[in-house]
A and B are shown apart, each in its own frame.
Chain A
Amino acid sequence: MLQYFRNIWEGFWTPLVGLSLTWRKLFTPAVTMQYPEERWELPINSRMQLFVNMDDCIGCLQCERVCPVQCISIDTVKAVPGEVEEATTGHKKRLHVTKFDIDMVKCCYCDLCTFPCPTECIYMTPSFEDSSPDRYGLVYHFVNMTPQHAAELEEKARQFDEAEAAKKSAKAAEASATATA
């Protein structure tokens, strides 16, 4: 009988304890934020949208290879000797990057691609508010090269290769000629 009344009393009292706590919280400042107007500070190494600094990219394909979801696709064309530029880190850009696409829809924001990059030109930025009405809007094209330009570069590289090959075969022929003579 005593237990019965004690249960009733506890049934009233323990929720009241909780209610008084909740009531006290009414007078503490809110922890929520009015998001678009108020913003919180993001840490420096926040992992949001990817960005590639194409001036430094040497087309080594390391980021493409390490990506676990294959969201990076890169095409390169060999640069002829006269056109080799230098990245700001001093690396030689021996390849023209004709395509550097990152599909941010597929990206899993794992940050694995930024570590092997020799020139540190691919990195994650704290910008997270990119949106698009369709899936292709989040495919970022970091190279603005027209297909014609890419084809020209390719042609140039092919011609250079051919010239090299011709030179080499001529040399070989000459060497064999001297050997026989």
Chain B
Amino acid sequence: MTPEAIHGALQQRFGQAVTAFEADAIDPTVTVEASAIHDVGAFLRSEPGLLFDSLMCLSGMDYGEETSSLGVVYHLHSTSLRHTITLRVEVPRQDGVVPTVCDIWRTAEWHEREAFDLFGMRFDRHPDHRRILLPDDWEGHPLLKDYQVQEFYQGIRVPYEGDPPEIGMDVYRFQDREDPV
């Protein structure tokens, strides 16, 4: 099925929830309402003629401070019908909530945890909603464009402030280096 046909099927089924379609993009992308993503996913997964049984990649996105929205991008592929589509949802920067799709594609479970860990949007009804790459008690979500690193983590200074004072350096300072070739 062509991306246009997939978009048509989605629009027919969900109407207003499908907000935009970029047909000219390198990977044709359908933008849907965040609240509808679970239903859209279930539809794409089970509808005969679509059968998207594999979620290739789920990425969090930060579209920058000026747009003030975060996003989640789903790259879907059907192993039986060999077609591909990209879905995108956008949520507000503060307290964004996306319904989880991990009951549809199991691989989403960890990818959603990763997106939460690095961007901070919540995934509704996720069975194990924890940080995955960073420690549980880390503050902030590092891949945000306006991320400020915390001052201390468990008593350890976090920001890098250049090299410590140069102690014992004079010994090596003006040694003559020869070309070893």
**Are A and B genuine complex partners?**
yes
A residues apposed to B, CB below 8 Å: 49, 51, 53, 125-127, 132, 134, 136-137, 139-142, 144
Q: Which B residues lie within 8 Å of A127 (CB)?
A: 180
23 A-B residue pairs with Cβ-Cβ distance under 8 Å, sorted by A, are A51-B177, A51-B179, A51-B180, A51-B181, A53-B179, A125-B179, A125-B180, A125-B181, A126-B180, A126-B181, A127-B180, A132-B172, A134-B168, A136-B166, A136-B168, A136-B172, A137-B171, A139-B169, A139-B172, A140-B177, A141-B173, A141-B174, A144-B174
Report A48 CB to chain B, min CB distance, Å. Answer: 9
Task: Flag B154-181 by CB within 8 Å of A: 1 or 0 each.
Answer: 0000000000001111011110110111
Per the bound structure, the CA–CA distance linking A169 and B173 in Å amounts to: 44
Question: Which 8 pairs show the lowest CB-CB distances between chains A and B?
Answer: A127-B180, A136-B169, A137-B172, A125-B180, A144-B174, A125-B181, A51-B179, A134-B168
Per the bound structure, the CA–CA distance linking A137 and B177 in Å amounts to: 12
Number of A-B contacts (CB under 8 A): 29
B residues apposed to A, CB below 8 Å: 166-169, 171-174, 176-177, 179-181
Q: Which A residues lie within 8 Å of B172 (CB)?
A: 132, 136-137, 139
Per the bound structure, the CA–CA distance linking A140 and B179 in Å amounts to: 12
The secondary-structure label for the interface of chain B is: loop
Report B109 CB to chain A, min CB distance, Å. Answer: 33
Per the bound structure, the CA–CA distance linking A126 and B168 in Å amounts to: 28
Q: Which A residues lie within 8 Å of B173 (CB)?
A: 141
Per the bound structure, the CA–CA distance linking A142 and B175 in Å amounts to: 9
Q: Which A residues lie within 8 Å of B167 (CB)?
A: 136
Per the bound structure, the CA–CA distance linking A136 and B166 in Å amounts to: 8
Identity of the chain B residue whose Cβ is nearest the Cβ of A129 in the assembled complex = B180
